[in-house]
Amino acid sequence: MEDLFDESAKAAKKSPLADRMRPRSLKEFVGQEHLVGPKKILSRFVENGDLISLIFWGPAGVGKTTLALIIAQAMEAHFISFSAVLSGVKDIRAVIAEAQEQLKFYGQRTILFVDEIHRFNKTQQDAFLHHVEDGTLTLIGATTENPSFEVNAPLLSRCKVLILEQLSKEHLKTIMNNALSNPERGLGNLSVEVEEDAFSFILENSHGEARLALNTLESAVMLSEPNQEKRRVVTMEIVQEAMQQKALRYDKGGEEHYNVISAFIKSMRGSDPDAALYWLARMLEAGEDPLFIARRMVIFASEDIGNAAPGALQVALSVKEAFHFVGMPEGWIPLAQGVTYLATSPKSNASYKAYQDALKDVKDRGSLGVPLHIRNAPTSLMKEIGYGKGYKYPHDYGGYAVQSYLPEKLQNREYYKPTDNGFDKEIKKRMEYNKEKRKKTSK
C-alpha cells in the first residue's frame, strides 16, 4: 500500500504547516490519551490489527482525520476519504466497487473515512450500510455534532462512538514547539523566536484547535522579516496581524460557553430583546453551533413562556426548521426573528413548575394505584371487579364531568397554577370555573 503520509518535497513546501506536521503514528500523536494511551482502545485496535466501525465525535482541530489516517496506515488498509456533504449515491457505489476490488484481488480491507457524517441522508446510508455489515468496508466517521441527535439510528447502531476531547493549552504548546523544532516538516530550518506573550496569545485564542494554532504560527513566521542575523522574531503585533482580529473570548467547551448561553437565556426570560440579540451575535460570531442555539430556544419556549403564548413553541420549532433549510450565512435572520419574538412574549413557567411538583410526588410516594373508575376494562373479569365502574364520559356532560382522576392519597392536589400573563389568564379562568363546578356538585 502506498504510504498515506508520503509526499514529495515540493508538495510538502506548498502544503500548510498543519498538514505537514500531521502525526504519522500514535507515538507522535498529542492529546486524546484516553483513546491512544497504552492499553487504551485505539492503541489496542492497532496492536491487534483488528477494527470495528467507529464514529469520532469531538470539536474541530483535535485529530479526528489524523487518527483515521494513522489507523489505516498501521493496519495496511486501503484508505478512502469521503465527504458526506459533497458526495452522492453514485460516489458511494464507486467507493463500494473500489473496496470490493481491493478485497478480491489484493486481499486488502478498506477503511472508509466519512467527514461530517452527521450530514448523511437516508439514501446515502441505505447505499452502503449493508457493505459495512458484511465487512466490505470498515467505517470511520467524524462529526462535531452529538451523534445521538444527528446520526440516524441504523448507522449509529453499527458503530462505536469515541469521544475526542478539546486539546488543552499544554497539548497545543507541545504541538507548536514540535513544529518550531522540526527541520524537515516544520519550521526548524528557519531561525525563529516567538516572544512569550505572542506564544501565549496563540494558545489562548486557538480554542483547543491544533490546526488553527499551527496555521496562525506559520502565518506569523512568514510575516516576520528576518533581521541581520537572519533570525525571525514573532511579536504580539505580528501574531495579531496574522490572526486578523482578536478572537472573541468564547470557548465552546469551557466556562465562557456556559456564561454566554446563560446570559442569552436570562435576557429572553427578562424580556430584553436587545440584550438577547447581543448574546446571539456573540455566540454566532464565535462559531457556536446555530442548532444548539435553536434547541435552547425550543426549550425556552416551553419552560419560560409555556401557555402564556402557546404559539411561541411553534415559532421556536419553525426557526429551527428555517435554519435547517437556509443554513449560514443567512441563517441568523430567522434566529434573530425568533429571539425577538420569544423575548417579548408574555412569560409563564407554570407548566414547568407543575411537572416538577408532580415529579416530587411520584418520587416521594412511589407507584400509587390508579383509581378503579378510570381503569380500562377490556375483559369481563375486569368489569366484574370494578374496573371502569362509575366513570363519567366528559362529552356526555357538556365537556366536563366532575370526578377525580388522581390516586386517593393525592386527592385535591393542585400542580398546575397558571399565571395572569397572556393566554395563561384565560386558562386560569377555565380552571377556576371547573373548580367552582366541583364545589357545587360536592355540596
Task: Check whether 228 has a pLDDT greater than 90.
Answer: no
CA distances to 54, 167, 295, 394, 424 from 143, rounded to whole Å, are 11, 16, 18, 51, 42
| From-to residues of CATH 3.40.50.300 in the chain | 32-163
Q: Which residues does residue 57 pair with via DSSP β-bridges, in sequence order?
A: 143, 163
pLDDT digits (tens, 9 = 90+) for 348-398: 999 999 999 999 988 888 888 888 888 888 888 888 888 888 898 889 888
Task: Check whether 11 has a pLDDT greater than 80.
Answer: no
> Given 1.10.8.60, 3.90.550.10, 1.10.20.10, 3.20.20.80, which CATH number is that of 169-243?
1.10.8.60
User: CA 288, CA 285: separation in Å to the nearest integer?
Assistant: 8
For residue 12, what pLDDT is reported? Answer: 45
Largest Cα separation within the chain, whole Å, is 104
With bands split at pLDDT 50, 70 and 90, how would you rate the model's confidence at 1?
A: very low
pLDDT digits (tens, 9 = 90+) for 340-354: 999 999 999 999 999
Fold of 32-163: Rossmann fold (3.40.50)
Instruction: Look up the pTM and report it.
Output: 0.53
| From-to residues of CATH 1.10.8.60 in the chain | 169-243
For domain 255-344, which architecture applies?
A: Up-down Bundle (1.20)
Task: Check whether 188 has a pLDDT greater than 80.
Answer: yes
Q: Which residues contact 92 (CB under 8 A, 6 or more apart)?
A: 82, 124, 127, 128
pLDDT digits (tens, 9 = 90+) for 87-100: 677 778 888 888 88
Q: Which residues contact 238 (CB under 8 A, 6 or more apart)?
A: 198, 220, 223, 224
For residue 377, what pLDDT is reported? Answer: 82
Average pLDDT over residues 419-426: 89
Which H or E run includes 119?
A: none
